[in-house]
Amino acid sequence: MNNWEKFKFIDLFAGIGGIRIPFDELGGKCVFTSEWDLDCQEMYKANFGHKPQGDITLIDPMDIPDHDFLCAGFPCQAFSIIGQMKGFQDTRGTLFFNIAEILKVKKPYAFLLENVKQLRSHDNGKTFAVIEKTLKDLGYFTHTKVLNALDFGLPQKRERTIIVGFKENLPFEFPKPIGIKPKLKDFLDPEAADDNSLKASDYIIKRRIKKLKDKPFYPSMWHENKSGNISVLSHSVALRAGASHNYLLVNGTRRLSSRELLRFQGYPEDFKIVLKHSAIRKQAGNSVPVPMIRAVANEILKTLRKNKVELRNKNSSKMHKDNELSL
């Protein structure tokens, strides 16, 4: 029995690969990737060696390779506060049903889905109830929890809904907080302080200082909310894809660099940056916190191995090797 030392997975709505990284580390082989954004495709190819296929709505599930595990950070804008919470009325919200169709046709043993915290409460819970029922009708037992990136070593308060599903009713526990408070200074680049392209205007800096209610400390992240109130924090609030440059400022004076943005999401230092800063800002704002996904992935694999779940294809090791060659 392979015991999930090697397994095949697919990476849907892949972004720049934040979910893929931990599954690669755990012995998985990605046999299919889908991501429609051209900039994300370019970053993904630079870091993983192959370009994702495009719009998942144009891909026949039968054309997707067999796999043991499905990963999907499906579009969250339809369920987020910033995205006006239109849910299934928004075409991005209906993309969940493309995932459901792939699960129905390909029947992987397990999956991990990721979305915004508000997914569970959207439309008084009706949206999430539809998602849960759909997955149950497909024969999956699901486990859901909201996790925070702050609890997994990142200086960013980013709460995400994580859904884990299995074909059997396995006992599963989500990872617990690591109990270590990240230090902001460990994620900041001293050289970025001298980068004039990142500096806020004198007007913005003076306006921030004028609106301060508490005595600032350094280093710190200065956050301006929708009401214009300024908070001085030892961590960042959630990075956003479409937010103003000035939503978050380091020490009230500058914006985060491309490398710092990726660090705040837990990407490794050798993760290649091949696009301009504006593209990285969007990608980091849409990304998952890698260490949080890594912690969940570890618990999933631990559960599968502890319960001696067999890979559905007994020739998985051979096919794993064949797929390496095909990619």
Known catalytic residues?
Answer: 76
Q: Which of 24, 17, 12 has its CA nearest to residue 320?
A: 24
Whole-angstrom CA distances from 299 to 69, 118, 307 are: 14, 24, 12
The packing angle between helices 96-106 and 126-137, to 10°, is 10
Which residues, including other chains, have CB under 8 Å from residue 29's CB and lie 6 or more apart? 6, 7, 8, 9, 320, 323, 324
Token pair of 102, please? 């792939």
- State how far the Cα of 56 lies from the Cα of 36, in Å rounded to an integer: 8
Sheet holding 221-224, edge to edge: 230-233, 221-224, 248-250
Q: How far, in whole angstroms, is CA 115 from its chain's centroid?
A: 8
| Chain center to CA of 148 | 12
